[in-house]
Structure 1
Amino acid sequence: MKLLLTSAGVNNKSIHDALTGMLDKPIAESTALCIPTAMYGHPWVGPGVRTWEFISGNSENPMVDLGWKSVGVLELTALPSIDEERWMPLVKETDVLLVSGGDALYLNYWMKKSGMAELLPSLKGVYVGMSAGSMVMAPRIGEFFVGWTPPQGGDDALGLVDFSIFPHLDHEMLPHNTMAAAEKWAAGMEGPAYAIDDETAIKVIDGEVEVITAGNWRLFSK
């Protein structure tokens, strides 16, 4: 699957151009599924109004409202109670998955429990993550970002890429998300780690990584 891992959605021309270049057809001809699951695990964004805003395309982070041919909702917490034949074909034929921010470990837990984690590598479409929706692809998220605690503890994530992500760098409403904090966070990670601001995304196709940015970012290499 092609990955576009953003901090705050498709919110500038550079990221939008990267997305359209990853699609096999125009946005207006592409189908999408939005996944709001991560929001339920984070006290700032769900459940409630902000979850509705994401699903309905009324949030401040452009993803659902980009002009897709159709947009459906895929709620991972519901999938274990539904036969796979009811949802897997839908996921496999969808062109784009739009995965919201929220709590990365909560999302990781339900990605695995629902069966989505196992399915993702075989999909042919584009995965667009925002914040936690991007962080979950890493091997670990780092203690700095642990909020919801999984039953087994730890900060392990899906490991579908070999790097970790520190989103919302220098965000005015997140005073702790400084470059100094990112550097300290990266020192505790085993592999490469990216700090990215809300104008930056990371594109991954066939293992090739490219930073798409109109803002500020930094790669911490081991």
Structure 2
Amino acid sequence: MKLLLTSAGISNKSIRNALVDLLGKPIEESKALFIPTAIYGIRGSAEIIRQVICGTAGDPFCEAGWRSLGLLELTVLPTIKKELWVPMLQGTDALLVGGGDCQYLCYWMQQSGLTEMLPSLLNKMVYVGLSAGSMIMTRFGTTYGNHTLATNSDKSFGFVDFAIHPHLDHEQFPDNSLANQEKLARTLQVPSYMIDDQTAIKIFDNRIEVVSEGKWKLFNPDQARTAS
């Protein structure tokens, strides 16, 4: 399993080097597919998707210098034959999964059949998550509620046994202070990585490595209970 779970994308040289290491070759020689689906669960989605694809939304993600970049919209896949999109997915080097609404993204990953395919795909490709795209692979996800999905719909899949809390101390997310993220982490039964936009979690064959040029903290609920 090869995962690069970021808060904001390929935001610095260290994260870029981690991506190249997982790919096993330069980004310029690698093919990528971008999944924008989670963005539709938040306001202003059409413009945000355009910005992410064009590389004007913030740190590099789609515009990291890929050999080729395709777009895979999950909401379309249940209506077309798998033979039209599965080979494209199998032939890619990196799956770029954008941020937005975790619950909405989980729902369409399940409806499209991608969730069932991921275990075998992750032996060959690199999964690169951004914010919600990272969180759904862990044991914790959130929702904006801008949709009609059932409230008990999945918000994460638990491919890894920890939680990620992105955008630590970000000026656009005033609730994401370290104190608030620690308070949230205390409600969970798994370790929590609180990471800022200059930090990512690299997973290769179940080995976890924090890649950072910024701020992060690991909160372990077992240690917290022992200390109390």
| TM-score bucket (shorter structure) | over 0.9
How far apart, in 2, do the equivalents of 1:28 and 1:166 lie? 30
**How big is each residue's C-alpha offset from its partner over 1:158-195, in whole Å with a ceiling of 9 and x where there is no partner?**
11111111100000111110111111111111111111
Which structure 1 residue ranges, 5 or more long, are not aligned? none
Report the counterpart of residue 225 of structure 2 in structure 1.
Answer: none
Report the counterpart of residue 77 of structure 1 in structure 2.
Answer: 75
The Cα RMSD (Å) is: 1.4
Which structure 2 residue ranges, 5 or more long, are not aligned? 222-228
How far apart, in 1, do the equivalents of 2:54 and 2:64 lie? 11
How far apart, in 1, do the equivalents of 2:187 and 2:108 lie? 25
Contact 2:107 2:154 in 1 (8 A): no
Report the Cα offset of residue 152 of structure 1. 4.8
How far apart, in 2, do the equivalents of 1:198 and 1:30 lie? 24
How far apart, in 1, do the equivalents of 2:82 and 2:92 lie? 15
How far apart, in 1, do the equivalents of 2:66 and 2:155 lie? 33
Report the Cα offset of residue 120 of structure 1. 1.1
Report the counterpart of residue 41 of structure 2 in structure 1.
Answer: 41
Report the counterpart of residue 114 of structure 1 in structure 2.
Answer: 112
Contact 1:38 1:104 in 2 (8 A): yes
Inter-CA distance 119–177: structure 2 relative to 1 (3 Å threshold): same
Report the counterpart of residue 147 of structure 1 in structure 2.
Answer: 144
Contact 1:167 1:195 in 2 (8 A): yes
How far apart, in 2, do the equivalents of 1:147 and 1:65 lie? 27
TM-score (ref. length: structure 1): 0.93
Report the counterpart of residue 163 of structure 1 in structure 2.
Answer: 162
Count of matched residue positions in the alignment of Structure 1 and Structure 2: 217
Inter-CA distance 31–117: structure 2 relative to 1 (3 Å threshold): same
Report the Cα offset of residue 133 of structure 1. 0.5
Amino acid at match of 2:100: G
| 1:11-26 correspondence to structure 2 within 5 Å | 11-26=11-26
Amino acid at match of 2:143: V
Aligned partner of residue 218 in structure 2, secondary structure: strand
**How big is each residue's C-alpha offset from its partner over 1:127-171, in whole Å with a ceiling of 9 and x where there is no partner?**
110000000111232xxx332264152664111111111100000
How far apart, in 1, do the equivalents of 2:93 and 2:83 lie? 18
Contact 1:146 1:155 in 2 (8 A): no
Please list every run of at least 4 consecutive aligned residues from structure 1 whose deviation after the TM superposition is greater than 6 angstroms.
none
How far apart, in 1, do the equivalents of 2:33 and 2:173 lie? 29
Report the counterpart of residue 131 of structure 1 in structure 2.
Answer: 131
Report the counterpart of residue 207 of structure 1 in structure 2.
Answer: 206
How far apart, in 1, do the equivalents of 2:64 and 2:158 lie? 28
Contact 2:106 2:154 in 1 (8 A): no
How far apart, in 2, do the equivalents of 1:181 and 1:52 lie? 31
Aligned partner of residue 139 in structure 2, secondary structure: coil
Report the counterpart of residue 191 of structure 2 in structure 1.
Answer: 192
How far apart, in 2, do the equivalents of 1:57 and 1:91 lie? 22
| Identity of matched residues, % | 51
How far apart, in 2, do the equivalents of 1:154 and 1:80 lie? 18
Contact 1:20 1:27 in 2 (8 A): yes
Amino acid at match of 1:27: I
Report the counterpart of residue 53 of structure 2 in structure 1.
Answer: 55
Q: Greater CA radius of gyration, 1 or 2?
A: 2
Amino acid at match of 1:57: G
Aligned partner of residue 165 in structure 1, secondary structure: strand
